[in-house]
Structure 1
Amino acid sequence: MPARHDQTLRAILGPTNTGKTHLAIERMCAHSSGVIGFPLRLLAREVYDRVVAIKGEKQVALVTGEERIVPPQARYVLCTAESMPIPDAEAGPGDPGDLPRDFAFAAIDEAQLGTDRERGHVFTDRMLRARGREETLILGSDTLRPIVEHLLPDAEIIGRPRFSTLRYAGQSKLSRLPPRSAIVAFSAEQVYALAEMLRRFKGGAAVVMGALSPSTRNAQVEMFQRGEVDYLVATDAIGMGLNMDVRHVAFADLYKFDGVRERRLTIPEMAQIAGRAGRHQTDGTFGTLALAGDDNPHFTDEEIERIEEHRFQWLDHLHWRNAELDFTDVNALIASLEVKSGDRLLRAAPTAIDLAVLKTLAEDPSIASTGGKKARTLWATCGLPDFRKVGANHHARLVRRVYGYIAEGGHVSQDWFASEVTRLDQVMGDIETLADRLAGIRTWAYIAQRKDWLKEPRRWQQRTREVEARLSDALHAALTQRFVDRRTAMLVKDIGAHGADALPVTVAEDGEVMVGPEPIGHLTGFTFKVDPTARHADKRLLLAAAERRLGEELSRRAKSLIDAPDTAFQLIEDPQLGLGVGWEGHLLAKLAPGRSLTEPALRTTRSLDRLSVPLRSALRTRLEGWLERQIDRHLGGLKDLAEAAADPQQPANVRALAAMLADAGGVLPRKKLAEPISHLDKEARSRLHRLRVRLGALDVFIATMLKPAAQHWRGVLQAVRDERSLPNLPAPGASMLEGSIDVEGARLAYRRLGQQWLRIDLADRIATTAHQSKDRSDAPPLDTTFATSLGLGEDATRRLMAEIGFVPDGDGWRWRGRRVHQPKQRRRKPRPQNAFAEALGALQPQKKAPEPRKKKRRRKRGGKSS
């Protein structure tokens, strides 16, 4: 094969992380002009940005199939291997032919890719024919050495050792992967699945695939480089020289589909990918990923040893395709493309997509007879990459249409071109949809780069760049939204932080809790609730963060409450926990049945369990003190009654009546106490009066129990004792209740009269007036004006007067008397007939029953008695 040796030609060979690409950049910048061909558009873009930083935008060009940035005075060109201009050669399918072909410096990167089935012939051709006037570098793996020695005998071969050590780290579970790890998979489905799992375990991962646009890929990598995520999931595209701060590479699989079959990776391929771990002087590790199931990837001992020691089998061939083409007609073109090299190390390249498309089109006789300039145009259109990966037959239809427009009218139809670009200009959809549209727009961007294919190439280049940028941004946003939870990623890092490295915690006025810049939930009282927008799988992590970081804030709140005035607390009813003592609407302690009605138990809620034991105890004491003061203030009369019932200095009948009344909450119908009241003497009545007990005609009650606050607290304590919800209490000060109401609430201080309820003190006032009228003929039993002012209806009035002891008599009322139930007295074994007697009997000492007297037996005297 022809090879020029009249200039400096060097082959820089070695494993990954040996600085080969960095050396090529330095050497190119030292010359007046230069060109470097790369295996990936992404890598070309990365190096372009580096050279622009050195030489400036006006002197640097970027040329790929879909993107061209070519300033008029550009002297340095960074391009893909297919777009690389070759001195003294015609433009190939991927080369528009509008670039200078004479450079002082030339380099081809990753030359060992000459073994690739699809693109290998391109790298072989560039290695043999791409030359600089002053210097040429061939960069690649050390496995390329015998090939270089055979094909380029005059080349100086320079080996470069790896800067850092690469070691095998074994198999790791996804949840145990160290930070700054890259996981390598070989299908988009597996990449997405792994990224989704990493989002749950580690807060997310960046995603890098060859199909991504440069801007999407750069945005994802930048997210990884900035440390927003500590994990990267990628295809084997990262093995092609992409420089990232990766310290560990985990293989999710060791098999890949190479376009023909599913096969195990070769050891050089494994080493190329594993070598991404460790950059410059930082050592790296590689291993495999343990996933669910038994079919997990495993390296053999030989593979591990050879990867660590960078010992690989020499390459024994490269793929080659003839570059001297015959354009007499399509069949002659195909024949020239399939010419054998005649060299044992240069094997005929497998049929690539461009040749497969050409053969498909050649089945049409009208195309097969094409020759000359049209044949060149046809071959150039066959070079349109199959970005959508639809296969030769389907892709040939698109190529045929593009060629038809160019061959007939000279340019692609702008209406068709515009409609296809507009169809793809949509940023709505899932990741797969956006990725498919991005692949589609890359096709039209490639067409737009051919100045001879469109009437207004600059306009359409700008248009396709804009659409690709929008789709790239949308895809980046979709990838980030689906596979990255910044909050979880931040918290995962924060778990291992201590002291000054820990992120600050802030609690806003509305209770929102922020750890660093990310919200994790709301603190209501002493209860932390996870942000409702968080995914279910992330809630445990957020709760752990709250447990770890909110202790100081909870302690501050507890100390503030211990010193707070009584007005800071209130009674509240929680739908789940029930009645209790609250603060700012948040339940702190639940009320439970205690020793008596006025001595309920207080049980702190679980929200206070996060406090230290001394703080929790002090806060409990504070709440108990508040509750006791409230009961003393509003139910003091009831407490006095309970104390009297337990006071041995009180007469037994007073103690018994006080015990019954205190247990009932200070209000009882008089008919239930008729028996004990009948046994009260003057002194006992005086003692009850001092206890504020009113012996009304209809009800016995403590007058202070009728105050609104007392009614409320009495209802609360009775609900707690009976373990039921708080009844709907009447409005404060209401004298009359109407209609269908809560019976339990009305019973607190109201007497039922049909469909109306009258407050017991007002009913007692009417009853007192009626009884006083019995001894006065000039006084009516009922003050009609007063009853009307209360709102008593006719039915309620009749019921009330009947309970008092009066019946209607014409337009007035007549006393009918009342029968007082007298219990029957039994001669033997007297038993208490009511609660009063039971209580009274319990208070009196029990007398021992006298022993029965023995009867004396008379002795019979002499025979029968008379």
Structure 2
Amino acid sequence: MILSGRGVSAVLGPTNTGKTHFAIERMVAHGSGMIGLPLRLLAREVYTRVVERVGVKNVALVTGEEKISPPNARFSVCTVEAMPRETKVAFVAIDEVQLAGDLERGHIFTDRLLHLRGREETLLLGSATMKSILLQLLPGITIVERPRLSQLFYAGQKKITRLPQRTAIVAFSADEVYAIAELIRRQRGGAAVVLGALSPRTRNAQVGLYQEGDVEYLVATDAIGMGLNLDVDHVAFAQDRKFDGYQFRNLNSGELGQIAGRAGRHIKDGTFGVTGRVNPFDDELVERLETHVFDPVKVLQWRTAQFDYSSVTALQRSLDAAPRIEGLTRALPATDQQALEFLSRYPEIADIADRPDRVEKLWEACALPDYRRITPAQHADLIQSLYFDLVRRGTVNEDFLADQVRRADRTDGEIDTLSARIAQIRTWTYVSNRPGWLADPTHWQEKTREIEDRLSDALHERLTKRFVDRRTSVLMKRLRENAMLEAEISVNGDVFVEGHAMGQLSGFRFTPISGMEGPDAKAVEAAAHRALALEFEARAARLHASGNGDLAIGSDGLVRWVGDPVARLIGTDHILHPRVIVLADEQLTGAARDHVAARIERFVNHHISTVLKPLDDLSRAEDLQGLAKGLAFQLVENLGVLFRRDVADDVKSLDQDGRASMRRYGVRFGAYHIFMPALLKPAPAELITLLWALKNDGLDKAGYGDLIPVLAAGRTSVVTDTTYERMFYKLAGFRFLGKRAVRIDILERLADLIRPLLQWKPGTTPRPEGAYDGRRFVTTTAMLSILGATPDDMEEILKGLGYRADSVSAEEAAGFLAAQKPSSTETAEVTKPEAESVDDADQSTVDGETDATASEVVAETSAPTEAPVADVATAEDAAAAEPTEPKPVLLWRPGGRNDNQRPAGRPAGDRRSAGQGQRTAGGERTSSAEPRNDQRRDDRRPDNRGERRDDNRGKFAGKGERQDRGDRKDRGPRPERDNNKSQPARFEAKPPRKEKPVDPDSPFAKLAALKEQMKK
């Protein structure tokens, strides 16, 4: 039987028309009243508002899972399912009556609007789409249409990351909601999450985050369309299809309008649109949504209220009854009816449900909601257990209940785990609130409510932790309030704003903490800069007043102030005057930035002029004249190092006065280089190479940044890298020689060691270690030591300097040395070998004045770091070892005439050509050709090309050469040749003389051992 529509008013209209507020006002105007709402969450909200009006003692809250029933309460706030079918209160209101057309819950709304009335007034609240069906079903009803308080506009399609603030993004699955919320957190700082599956307490907490401004975005299902009052400016649909419990389908215009209508509150207009993954709405749909004109509801879902409890089968037949009134349609089986169908198949159910009261109890048990969203069979099994307890025991087994509750009473786990526990505890909360189901319902109501609240709080915490960046949300809120942000900077530069870590302040640059990106990251960075504005000014003042000791230039071209980079050097046309680029954020402006730039420029200029003072002094020298001035200019242009071969003519023409004037500025004339020893020290070398690298494509492009500290570390030689330009090694004070680069002052020391070996004349003085026949020499331990090289490296280095090697066997070398020993009478008078190096590394003087010695050059440079040399077998080891073929001995000599130059220390009379070859100590002619390496031709040749030096006897080199060629006494007789077959060399042995003890660590220990054997 359907009641008449007389005394019933329907307040219809779109969202934001104030319908719910109107119903609350009407209810409290009566002595008693009841209002039914579609959601427990909304019921909670309305309950709070009514309590504020009439007091907590006068309001009851009744839902399936919660009951607050003060004695003598005059007003009741209920979910529609919890509303009784009959009541005596003066006022009744039912909200969102358009849900009577919902396939799953519609029959409950239909039953209440058709049968439940207030004694004095009944209000039906809902969409205007219900107007025609209500007029049809309830004759005499009064229809009141209310217009929307604000307008709604379509904003089109936008990417999620470009949505405006105060936006609600709508999706229709938990997975999609979580994915969108995660994206919003990364891009925009965070989002609140609202799903129908969340407990009311969790949903309220999440809505509170959004409403209080902690986050600017809300990601939700269509649950927000059911009366949640939110300050939403824009609604964006991330999906337009949903699963309605039976199938996936597109939302109709009325459902879209219900959700989109949440944008704009009171008199504030709102907008709606779609995200990038949803096709834009067509014009017709947009017009409907903007004007709130939707298809009317034509039928309502209906299920009989006349249940036949005579048997389970009879109950099922009554549930299948069809409506007899036009405008109603039989509802699809709901969860309770599906559970009954499953249970009716169980024989034990048929046996126990044998009386009407038991059948009614079975139907009551089937009303248990499926909060856990499990299969109908599993849900039916739970109902069966509860039903058996109710029939056999009268109440649910509390031991079983306690065990289930204890399993749910855990707050560990992630979002899905906590959501499952909340669904489980809501089941037992419902059980505890069913009349007559428990022996001690009050205890279990309190227990389950406490656990649900604790789980809800834990879920809210997990959701917030996962989808909300608290740092960003707090700062955004403070920025909206236009409040002064409090900043704190730790000793190591960590920046905290409002107690949240924001990033690192290094010098005048702020680096946000990792993980922030998107527009909100920029807003957070702006907030940090706003809080750091005063700090920037204070740092600028401190830098301007700081001393030079607080500033430094690194090998990476950065200028650092107390360790923090504040500027970068850029190369210019003038290598000694690089450009300074201040490294600072835009917040450092005006006078503060100018002061910082000026102070850094003063430091850079002072640092360069101080560290490179010898070069600066030479460039400003006014007492240099003629060739000296020109040579000084070239030396400055080349940053203190010149290959002597490149300026050989100028050096040869430079008189002693000019040389002396240049020496006063620290210039040294070496055998291979013209250089300034003071610039070879680590600090000047590092600065020179840095300035050159800056000018030549920069450190990053050239890749010199890592090599500069190695070259400037004071090492005597390093392994070369062919990817670097050789000029770079030169400016660092190194000569590129094959696989190794050797410091130029060390090469000059090497020249000092080689010169006396080539000046020695056999049979005149004691033989220096390493000397052979006056024209050739062998490498010595001293040479290896000062170069920090192995014998193989030494071979590369000597070849790079232009020396060439002849290979003879150890026996042949030993025999020749024995033959060249001076007699005892010849050794009576021993003259001191002329081993000192003089100006231009030759043996002559110019105008009676000598240049600085090599020892003086070395003294002015940093002490070299001697690298260990290769192990050399001692004579004892050689004797004890198994007989092996001895390695050939390399006899080094200066390069031939076609090299156009010769190394320092070459005898003035030696003008043998490379093409001519020369004879060995045994009389055999050897080829002077050497293997070509990857050195440039200039680096392969000995230095000082084109120069001739006398032999300290006042004779020209050409004449000396002819004399040397004419006097063959020291070279031994020519070997006899028979049928073009070489004969063993014969030497004219001189009387043996006593040899000095052989150093067992000498590389010539083996030769010494062989000589001893020959004596015996």
- Output the TM-score relative to the length of structure 2: 0.64
Of 819, 833, 839 in structure 2, the residue corresponding to residue 816 of structure 1 is 833
Residues 794-831 of structure 1 show CA distances to partners (whole Å, capped at 9, x for unaligned) of 9769989xxxxxxxx99xx98322383576899xxxxx
Find the counterpart in structure 1 of residue 489 from structure 2. Answer: 508
What SS does the aligned partner of 1:726 have? helix
**Structure-to-structure mapping, 1:13-28, within 5 angstroms:** 13-28=12-27
Taking the aligned partners of 1:170 and 1:676, their CA distance within structure 2 comes to 82
Query: Aligned with 1:727: secondary structure?
Result: helix
Equivalence for 2:152? 167
| Match in the other structure for 1:91 | none
Provide the residue aligned with 1:76 in structure 2: 75
Q: What pairs up with 1:105-124 in 2 under 5 angstroms?
A: 105-124=91-110
Q: Does 1:385 align with 2:369?
A: yes
Are residues 1:328 and 2:298 paired?
no
* Larger displacement relative to structure 2 (252-261 or 231-240): 252-261
In the alignment, which residue of structure 1 is the partner of 2:3? 3
- Contact conserved, 1:588 with 1:605, CA < 8 A, in 2? yes
Q: Map of 1:132-151 to 2, 5 A cutoff?
A: 132-151=118-137
Quick one: structure 1 residues 616 and 836, their matched pair in 2 at CA, closer, same or farther if it must change by over 3 Å?
farther
Look up the match of 1:716.
Answer: 687
- Give me the whole-angstrom Cα distance separating, in 2, the residues matched to 1:216 and 1:168: 31
Structure 2 vs 1, CA of residues 537 and 441 (structure 1 numbering), >3 Å: closer, same or farther? farther
Correspondence for 1:784: none
Matches for 1:93-104 after TM superposition, within 5 Å: 102-104=88-90
Name the CA distance, whole Å, in 2 between partners of 1:229 and 1:428: 25
How far off its partner does 1:83 sit?
Answer: 1.2
Q: Measure, in 1, the Cα distance between the counterparts of 2:609 and 2:384.
A: 97
Distance 1:688 1:78, change over 3 A: same
2:558–2:569: 8 Å Cα contact kept in structure 1?
yes
Which secondary structure state, in structure 1, belongs to the residue aligned with residue 219 of structure 2? strand
Tell me how far 1:548 sits from its aligned partner: 9.1
Indicate how the Cα distance of structure 1 residues 26 and 526 shifts in structure 2: closer, same or farther if over 3 A, else same: same
Match of 1:220 in 2: 206
Q: Which residue of 2 aligns with 1:250?
A: 236
Change (3 A) 1:559 1:340: same
After superposition, where does 1:302-313 map in structure 2 within 5 Å?
303-313=285-295
- Aligned partner of 1:636 in structure 2 is 613
Closer, same or farther in 2 for the Cα pair 1:21/1:747, shift >3 Å?
A: closer
Query: 1:21-41 CA deviation, whole Å, 9 max, x = no partner?
Result: 222222322333332221111
- Report the more deviating stretch, 389-398 or 37-46: 389-398
Counterpart residue number, 2:919: none
Q: How far apart, in 1, do the equivalents of 2:650 and 2:910 lie?
A: 16
CA contact (8 A) 1:331 1:368 kept: no
Pair 1:442-2:448 in alignment: no
- Are 2:572 and 1:587 equivalent residues in the alignment? no
- Give the match for residue 780 of structure 1: none
Matches of 1:746 and 1:299, distance apart in 2: 73
CA shift in 2, pair 1:446/1:628, >3 Å: same
Q: Which amino acid in structure 2 is aligned with residue 325 of structure 1?
A: F
Measured in 2, the distance between the counterparts of 1:308 and 1:699 equals 88
Higher Cα Rg: structure 1 or 2?
Answer: 2
> Residues 352-751 of structure 1 correspond to what in structure 2 (within 5 A)?
352-369=334-351, 370=353, 371-450=355-434, 452-485=436-469, 501=482, 504=485, 506=487, 508-509=489-490, 510-513=492-495, 519-534=501-516, 557-558=539-540, 561-573=543-555, 578-591=556-569, 599=576, 601-604=578-581, 619-644=596-621, 647=622, 649-652=623-626, 654-655=628-629, 683=657, 687=661, 690-691=664-665, 711-721=682-692, 724=704, 725-727=707-709
Following superposition, the deviation at residue 345 of structure 1 comes to 3.3
Write the distance in 2 (CA, Å) between the matches of 1:321 and 1:609.
Answer: 70
Aligned length in residues: 763
Indicate if the aligned counterparts of 1:164 and 1:284 stay in contact, CA closer than 8 A.
no
Shift of 1:239: 2.2
User: Which residue matches 1:781?
Assistant: none
Letter in 1 for 2:683: H
Q: 1:198 and 1:657, CA in 2 relative to 1: closer, same or farther beyond 3 A? A: closer
Residues 87-146 of structure 1: per-residue CA shift (max 9 Å, x gap): 3xxxxxxxxxxxxx5434332222232222222221222223333344333333344345
Q: CA deviation at 1:180?
A: 2.9
Quick one: distance in 1 between partners of 2:181 and 2:689? 58
Counterpart secondary structure, 2:45: helix
Q: What's the secondary structure of 1:65's corresponding residue?
A: coil
Per-residue deviation, residues 225-278 of structure 1 (Å, max 9, x unmatched): 122333323222222222122233334444433323334434433333333233
Instruction: Provide the rounded CA distance (Å) in 2 between the counterparts of 1:18 and 1:624.
Output: 68
Aligned residues of 2:189 and 2:521 also touching (Cα < 8 A): no
1:526 maps to a residue whose letter is: F
The aligned amino acid for 1:3 is: L
Change (3 A) 1:687 1:38: same
Q: Secondary structure at the match of 1:279?
A: coil
* Counterpart amino acid of residue 59 in structure 1: N
Q: Relative to 1, partners in 2 of residues 1:704 and 1:197: Cα closer, same or farther, differing over 3 Å?
A: closer
Comparing 478-487 and 211-220, the one that deviates more: 478-487
Structural mapping, 1:769-808, within 5 Å: none
After TM superposition, give the deviation of residue 382 of structure 1 in Å. Answer: 0.3
Q: Is 1:252–1:288's contact at 8 Å kept on the other side of the alignment? A: no
The equivalent residue for 2:301 is: 319
Identity score, percent: 41
Cα displacement (A) at 1:80: 0.9
19 and 701 in structure 1: CA distance in 2 versus 1, 3 angstrom threshold: closer
> 3-state DSSP class of the match of 1:479?
helix
Compute the TM-score of the two structures, normalised by the length of structure 1: 0.74
* 2:709 alignment partner, SS class: coil
Q: Structure 1 residues 20-29 or 541-550, which shifts more?
A: 541-550
- The 1:537–1:388 alpha-carbon spacing in structure 2 relative to 1, beyond 3 Å, is farther
Closer, same or farther: CA 65–619 of 1 in aligned 2, 3 Å: same
Taking a change above 3 Å as real, the CA distance of residues 684 and 26 of structure 1, as seen in their structure-2 partners, is same
The letter for the 1-side match of 2:215 is: V
* Root-mean-square deviation over aligned CA pairs: 5.1
Aligned to 1:46: 45
- When residues 685 and 467 of structure 1 are mapped into structure 2, their CA distance, relative to the original with a 3 A threshold, is same
Q: Is the 8 A contact 1:3 1:128 kept in 2?
A: yes
Q: CA deviation at 1:383?
A: 0.4
* Matched letter for residue 112 of structure 2: R
Distance in 2 between the 1:650 and 1:308 partners? 92
Q: Deviations over 1:530-579 (max 9, x none)?
A: 31243689767766777899788657645653454333312323xxxx14
Deviation at 1:425, TM superposition (A): 3.6
Kept after mapping to 1: 8 A contact 2:154/2:290? no
Matched with 2:953 is: none
Structure 2 CA distance for aligned equivalents of residues 757 and 230 of structure 1: 66
Q: How far apart are 1:429 and its partner, in Å? A: 4.1
**Residues in 1 aligned to 2:269 and 2:667: alpha-carbon distance in whole angstroms:** 90
Is the CA contact (8 Å cut-off) linking 2:62 and 2:68 kept in structure 1? Answer: yes
User: What are the equivalent positions in structure 2 for 1:285-296 lying under 5 Å apart?
Assistant: 285=271, 287-292=272-277, 296=279
